[in-house]
């Protein structure tokens, strides 16, 4: 269980940082991180980091599919973590 929590913390922190890096690159007009990469990072257990990165850095907030994928993957991830947690407690 502690490895799952550590994994979630690390993936969400990395996703959050990558959103900040991409925003900084966008402001400076430099090479950007592809949207597919940003979306994939959110889907692969980084949805909290994605949604926080969008809010804090005001990045990709006008892209409806970022909000949709972020919220959908967050819901799926909550269910998965809940199932894992309840199975560990039994």
- Residue 42 above 70 pLDDT? yes
pLDDT of residue 90: 62
pLDDT of residue 31: 94
- Residue 36 above 70 pLDDT? yes
Check: CB of residue 15 under 8 Å from CB of residue 53: yes
CA dihedral 34, 40, 43, 45 (to 10 degrees): -110
pLDDT of residue 85: 84
pTM: 0.89
Give the pLDDT confidence of 43-65 residue by residue, as tens digits. Answer: 998 999 999 999 999 989 898 99
């Amino acid at each position: 269980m502690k490895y799952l929590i550590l994994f979630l913390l690390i993936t969400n922190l990395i996703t959050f940082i990558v959103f900040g890096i991409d925003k900084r690159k966008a402001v400076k007009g430099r090479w950007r991180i592809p949207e597919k990469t940003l979306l994939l990072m959110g889907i692969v257990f980084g949805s909290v980091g994605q949604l926080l990165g969008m809010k804090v850095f005001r990045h990709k907030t006008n892209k409806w599919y970022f909000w949709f994928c972020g919220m959908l993957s967050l819901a799926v991830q909550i269910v998965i973590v809940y199932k894992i947690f309840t199975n560990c407690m039994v």
